[in-house]
Amino acid sequence: MLKATVLALALVVAATAAHAADACYQGVGGSILVFKRFKLPRANDCLPITGYQHNSNCTLTGTACGTSDGFQVNFNFQQICHFSGFGTYSLFTDRSIQQGDGLFCQQNLSTGQFSCPTFNAARVSCPTTPSITEF
């Protein structure tokens, strides 16, 4: 009986950890966006996301939402860089292949002009080396 209880507890802990692992996506210019303890939202549901851009001083915060048909996940989040300003990401990925399109808008702090490059967004392996902003 004790073995069964320990085994059941171990399975619950493992399942919880598996559903809340970090997830990484390729951002604008090939940057790596790391979302901490990320879970894909269900169809018609939104979940908060937080994280950072690897090898930078930028943090990320926003939401990921599953579309009503369940085929896509839409990400909308802010990037705040401690020394170089801020920007807004909007990207979507196809749930089955974890790829899609993205848009990143950032203001040039010197001129006040905005630029909004598009990019291909794709889930990628998370870096194994520590980042400057790892928390």
Tell me the C-alpha distance between 119 and 116, whole Å. Answer: 10
What number of other Cβ atoms are within 10 A of residue 129's Cβ?
7
Domain 21-124 has CATH 2.40.128: yes
76-122 per-position pLDDT tens digit: 999 999 877 899 999 999 999 999 999 999 988 888 899 999 999 99
Percent of the chain with pLDDT strictly greater than 90: 67
Look at 46 and 30; give whichever has higher pLDDT: 46
Contacts of 6 (CB under 8 A, 6+ apart): none
* Residue 68: pLDDT over 80: yes
Percent of the chain with pLDDT strictly greater than 70: 81
**Contact by Cβ (8 Å): 34, 52:** yes
Contacts of 10 (CB under 8 A, 6+ apart): none
50-63 per-position pLDDT tens digit: 999 999 999 999 99
Give residue 131's pLDDT band: very low, low, confident or very high (50, 70, 90). low
* Residue 35: pLDDT over 50: yes
* Residue 129: pLDDT over 90: no
* Residue 9: pLDDT over 50: no
Tell me the C-alpha distance between 80 and 88, whole Å. Answer: 9
Tokens 């902003």 belong to residue: 133
* Residue 5: pLDDT over 50: no
Beta bridge partners of 123: 25
Tell me the C-alpha distance between 92 and 66, whole Å. Answer: 10
**pTM above 0.85?**
no
Domain locations in the chain as residue ranges: 21-124
